[in-house]
């Protein structure tokens, strides 16, 4: 009996020991699993911390600088999150918000800096423009007193500097600085031509139906500034040996159109899109977005377009370069009085077809071609295209003309050759001038220049008189303001 009791006790102890051992093993295994899980969690937290640190480093070194660069260069890439799988939730959202906040802060600071720069340049431009206008008046006085071609060169360079100053002032939202009366459109075009280097390459063709078509006073100088910028681009980006044809014509909607063509290098797609954006007249153009050195031509035209209501479009030109089309709406146009004398330098309107020829063409079912860019007749060229006379040529003794007369109104090519001097030539030219005062021919232009040169030569050969001191100009005592 005692043996059985001892055996049972031993069995119970063995069972209890086995149970305790099993429980201890389970607890040890659970503790090991918990330690391993803790280690894995620690490693994951360390990896996330490292990834977040790298993202913050990339945010400071790459993403924010790239976002600031993209404000000026729209094609510049802005990198995103470095490890999208490692950064999620609030961390990724906060990093993106940090980039947006930096972009906003940069824009605000650029706006403040640009406004301060515009204000400083606006004041400086006004002072420089005033001084250049004073210099221009002094040069005009010297031109009347001294016959020195260098004064003309100085006057032209002063005009170039004045144009650049006006363009800078307009870009800084300033007034153009010059008030005009109602001005003939062709004279405004000639005025813009005179402000451009290489003006002798610009050939103006007048296709206006109304010779006295003019710009209203408030739009005359702004349009001259805009056209001068377009002409400057055309001459600067084309070969010096090529011409820049300019065509002035009226549109069907009672407006006017100025075409400027060049045979230059053209523009790629990105530059063309950027130019069209500037010409659309955006509400604000930052000075820092114009490049280094700044290219202000289209930006100036865009500012004037937004302020005065005309428009401009550029496209590829049939001459190989670019074509700028400056459209003037009807409310900016007027007609000046007949008693006002037009400039003798303004080209006369080119008639594509006389009235009789146009009526005949319509009767025959032929539509007249619209006038395109044309070039004025050059008296020094060996050949020139001149409009054929509307009246028939005089017949010879045998009742027929020496050459077959071309159809009335169509342009024909005539070779110019030197004519033998005859005593009747001056009298014939004078009589022709009296009979047709409104017709301008190369012979009349040559005779006028010959008379001018003869008068200049006779004036130089006259006995010299003691030079007199030039009258003191009231602008001489005006110094710089501080």
pLDDT tens, 437-446? 445 566 676 6
- Among 23-32, 155-164, 380-389, the range scoring the smallest mean pLDDT is 380-389
127's CB contacts (< 8 A; 6+ apart) are: 480, 481
- pLDDT the model gives residue 471: 42
Share of the chain above pLDDT 70, in %: 72
φ and ψ of 451, to 5 deg: -65, -40
φ and ψ of 212, to 5 deg: -100, 20
From residue 313, alpha-carbon distances to 42, 317, 329, 355 in Å are 65, 12, 14, 33
pLDDT tens digits, 277-303: 889 877 777 787 787 788 888 999 999
- pLDDT the model gives residue 258: 94
User: Which of 23-27, 88-92, 163-167 is the most confident on average?
Assistant: 163-167
The single residue listed with the structure tokens 């044309």 is 374
Helices (H), 146-264: 149-171, 185-193, 217-236
Long-range interactions of 119-125: CB distance < 8 A, separation 24+: 119/172, 121/168, 121/169, 121/172, 122/169, 122/172, 122/173, 122/174, 125/165, 125/166, 125/168, 125/169, 125/172, 125/174
Which residues on adjacent β-strands are paired with residue 326?
258, 312
φ and ψ of 275, to 5 deg: -65, -40
Binned at pLDDT 50, 70 and 90, residue 468 comes out as: very low
Peptide bond into 293 cis (omega under 30): yes
Residue 350 pLDDT exceeds 70: yes
Helices (H), 64-175: 64-70, 90-145, 149-171
H/E stretch holding 25 reads helix 2-58
Binned at pLDDT 50, 70 and 90, residue 45 comes out as: confident
Alpha-carbon distance of 124 to 101, in angstroms, equals 35
Nearest-5° Cα angle at 36, 34 to 38? 70
Residue 218 pLDDT exceeds 70: yes
Binned at pLDDT 50, 70 and 90, residue 365 comes out as: very low
**Range 332-349 average pLDDT:** 84
Query: Of 132, 137, 126, whose CA–CA distance to 157 is shortest?
Result: 132
Alpha-carbon distance of 415 to 423, in angstroms, equals 23
User: Which of 11-20, 250-259, 375-384, 412-421 is the most confident on average?
Assistant: 250-259
408 or 313: which leads in pLDDT: 313
262 or 76: which leads in pLDDT: 262
């Amino acid at each position: 009996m005692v043996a059985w009791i001892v055996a049972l006790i031993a069995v119970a102890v063995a069972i209890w020991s086995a149970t305790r051992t099993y429980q201890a093993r389970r607890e040890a295994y659970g503790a090991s699993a918990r330690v391993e899980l803790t280690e894995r969690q620690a490693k994951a937290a360390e990896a996330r911390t490292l990834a977040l640190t790298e993202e913050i480093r990339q945010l400071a070194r790459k993403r924010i600088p790239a976002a600031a660069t993209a404000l000026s260069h729209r094609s510049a890439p802005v990198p995103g999150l470095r490890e999208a799988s490692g950064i999620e939730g609030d961390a990724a959202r906060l990093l993106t918000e940090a980039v947006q906040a930096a972009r906003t802060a940069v824009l605000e600071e650029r706006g403040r800096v640009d406004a301060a720069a515009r204000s400083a340049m606006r004041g400086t431009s006004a002072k420089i423009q005033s001084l250049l206008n004073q210099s221009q008046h002094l040069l005009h006085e010297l031109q009347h007193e001294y016959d020195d071609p260098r004064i003309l060169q100085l006057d032209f360079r002063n005009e170039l500097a004045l144009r650049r100053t006006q363009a800078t002032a307009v870009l800084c939202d300033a007034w153009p600085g010059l008030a005009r009366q109602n001005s003939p459109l062709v004279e405004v075009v000639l005025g813009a031509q005179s402000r451009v280097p290489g003006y002798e390459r610009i050939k103006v063709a007048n296709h206006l139906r109304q010779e006295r078509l003019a710009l209203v006073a408030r739009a005359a100088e702004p349009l001259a500034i805009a056209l001068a910028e377009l002409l400057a681009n055309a001459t600067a980006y084309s070969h010096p040996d090529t011409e820049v044809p300019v065509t002035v014509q009226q549109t069907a909607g009672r407006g006017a159109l100025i075409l400027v063509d060049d045979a230059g290098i053209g523009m790629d797609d990105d530059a063309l899109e950027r130019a069209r954006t500037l010409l659309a007249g955006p509400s604000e153009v930052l000075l820092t977005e114009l490049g280094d050195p700044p290219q202000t031509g289209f930006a100036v035209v865009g500012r004037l377009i937004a302020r005065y209501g005309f428009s401009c479009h550029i496209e590829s030109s049939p001459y190989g370069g670019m074509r700028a089309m400056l459209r003037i709406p009807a409310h900016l146009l007027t007609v000046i009085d007949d008693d006002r004398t037009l400039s003798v330098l303004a080209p006369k309107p080119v008639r594509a077809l006389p009235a009789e020829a146009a009526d005949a063409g319509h009767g025959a079912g032929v539509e007249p071609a619209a006038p395109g860019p044309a070039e004025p007749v050059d008296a020094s060229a060996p050949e020139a295209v001149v409009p054929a006379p509307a009246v028939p040529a005089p017949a010879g003794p045998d009742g027929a003309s020496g050459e077959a007369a071309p159809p009335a109104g169509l342009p024909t090519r005539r070779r110019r050759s030197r004519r033998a001097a005859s005593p009747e030539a001056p009298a014939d030219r004078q009589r022709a001038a009296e009979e047709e005062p409104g017709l301008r021919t190369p012979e009349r232009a040559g005779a006028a220049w010959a008379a001018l040169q003869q008068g200049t030569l006779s004036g130089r050969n006259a006995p010299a008189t003691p030079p007199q001191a030039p009258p003191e100009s009231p602008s001489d005592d005006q110094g710089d303001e501080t």
